[in-house]
Amino acid sequence: MQQAFKAHVPNRASKLQRAGCKRPTLFTCRAAPAVASSVSSNGVVSWATSKGAKLERASLSTDLLTDRPLLIASADAQQGDLLLSVPDSVWLSVEAVKKTTVGKLAAAEGLEPWVQIALQLLADRFGNSSSKSELSAYAASIPENLDIPLLWSDDELRVLQGTQVLQTLGGYLTFFQATFQQLQSSLFAANPAAFPPSTFTLPNFLWAVAAVRSRSHAPLDGAKIALAPLTELVSHRRSANSKLAVRPTGLFGRGQVLVLEATRPIRKGEPLSMDYGPGKLDGPVLLDYGVVDATSPKPGYSLTLTMPSSDRFIDDKLDILESNGLRQSMTYNLTPDEQPTTEMLAFLRLMQLKGMDAFLLESIFRNDVWGFMQEPISEANEEALCTTLLEGARAVLTGYTTSIDEDLAALRGGSYPKGSRREAALLVRLGEKEALDAVARFFEARRETQLKRLVYYQERRLRRLGLVDDEGRTTYDSFFKDGIA
């Protein structure tokens, strides 16, 4: 039953699914100095604005809680007002990278865009002057000790012990290490002058990867990935007051500019914020960006359900899923305050469809069977899905080293400083457990108290035929009672 609860690897690193990493031991990727100072932030602001970036209604300030630089509104703004603009000439993009020796060689190798950008960022930060790009001032402003968990110390990672986040992080590290080894044996070995071993080390590569992951935001992501200076100074908030957008600029719209625009009225002095992971839980956002919005957390657990290939009806079930836009494996976010979605329950019912219920897989029902799955099929089917989720959630909960009550006590007792990595890790750990506990309670209550009261497929069918009334009584009892038969 526990196999249903697999770690979900975000789409940005889908290749990690092939890494085969299970629960990792703790590891240290890189020990580095403190976060970016206001001096370096002032420097990158001055550099970016000298290159055409504009602080339309924004100015640099410092977060009083964490002492980190951030942008605030320099004037009142209304919805739709521009707060910040960064032209594509300042983006660290694939186009910009191709102008350097490192970039040309990486492009010729056919490397993915994010790898090309990471290698140039590494060269800009740690390489000699001949390997740097025109945007090296931006790389110099990025702190070595980024908050992304890929670079956390063992002590910090211990707070994540037992979590889905740490398991996924192990997959990330395995994949990035394998990528680096491939680069060493191919691109680096063939071009030692451009990629000197003393500079292109695994720690430096991991830093560059962390920088790319933590500083890329939609719409400049995926195949269009680029790093735009100054956007890292916009805080992460779930109740954000702004968002990023790309607009055409220049003659015939051949150029592009990334703009930050207000999504609601903003008062002067208010920190500018955007949601780093719309629709994502806190765990994936912490993994990618090293941040959690403690004022408005989005706790949860990503549950991946996979239709077993060993199922005797697997071909029929996969055909049904494909016909309805679904895949053999689907991931659903479990949260403490929301019940499982109708689609998730339907997927579970199809997974458990067997025995006497398997007649619904006949071709005559093929166009309707997914609709049938939206509601309970039979008591045995519903009990099986409840047991699967209940036992699976409880099994995963036993893998954590602390209880929910212990985590709540640590949070309320201020065991970790506000705004610290450990507090973020604690919030994510607690959120995972609360979601798992909630789903276990939901399916336990459903199994113990509701199965006898649910309306199943056969009864629904008889009702549609008018042979059973709303109270479950047959409408043809009098037919036999009066002896008409």
DSSP per-residue string spanning 306-353: E--TT-TTHHHHHHHHHHTT--SEEEEEE-TTSPPPHHHHHHHHHHT-
Reported confidence tier of residue 474, pLDDT bands at 50, 70, 90 = low
Q: How far apart are CA 48 and CA 36, in angstroms?
A: 16
Q: How far apart are CA 144 and CA 308, in angstroms?
A: 44
More confident residue, 260 or 62: 260
- State the pLDDT at residue 31: 31
- State the pLDDT at residue 63: 85
Reported confidence tier of residue 227, pLDDT bands at 50, 70, 90 = very high
212, pLDDT greater than 90: yes
For the chain, domains (ranges, CATH) are 11-283 (3.90.1410.10), 299-454 (3.90.1420.10)
Q: Per-residue pLDDT averaged across 82-109, rounded? A: 96
247, pLDDT greater than 70: yes
- State the pLDDT at residue 478: 53
- State the pLDDT at residue 321: 97
Calculate what percentage of the chain has a pLDDT beyond 70.
Answer: 87
Calculate what percentage of the chain has a pLDDT beyond 90.
Answer: 79
Q: Integer distance in angstroms from the first to the last C-alpha of the chain?
A: 50
Q: How far apart are CA 267 and CA 78, in angstroms?
A: 9
Least confident of 239-248, 249-258, 461-470: 461-470
Is residue 17 classed exposed, middle or buried when 0-12, 13-18 and 19+ CB atoms within 10 A define those classes?
Answer: middle
- State the pLDDT at residue 40: 74
67, pLDDT greater than 90: no
- State the pLDDT at residue 468: 55
Q: Take residue 469 and report the two structure tokens written for it.
A: 């009334």
Q: Who's near 123: CB < 8 A, 6+ residues apart? A: 100, 102, 131, 132, 133, 199
Least confident of 2-6, 84-88, 93-97, 374-378: 2-6
Q: How far apart are CA 343 and CA 373, in angstroms?
A: 9
Helix (H) or strand (E) holding 447: none
The residue behind tokens 């679904």 is 326
- State the pLDDT at residue 458: 87
Least confident of 81-85, 111-115, 130-134, 469-473: 469-473
More confident residue, 171 or 9: 171
Reported confidence tier of residue 473, pLDDT bands at 50, 70, 90 = low
214, pLDDT greater than 90: yes
Residues 265-314: pLDDT tens digits? 999 999 999 999 999 999 999 999 999 999 999 999 999 999 999 999 99
Q: Per-residue pLDDT averaged across 16-35, rounded? A: 34
- State the pLDDT at residue 36: 42
- State the pLDDT at residue 130: 85
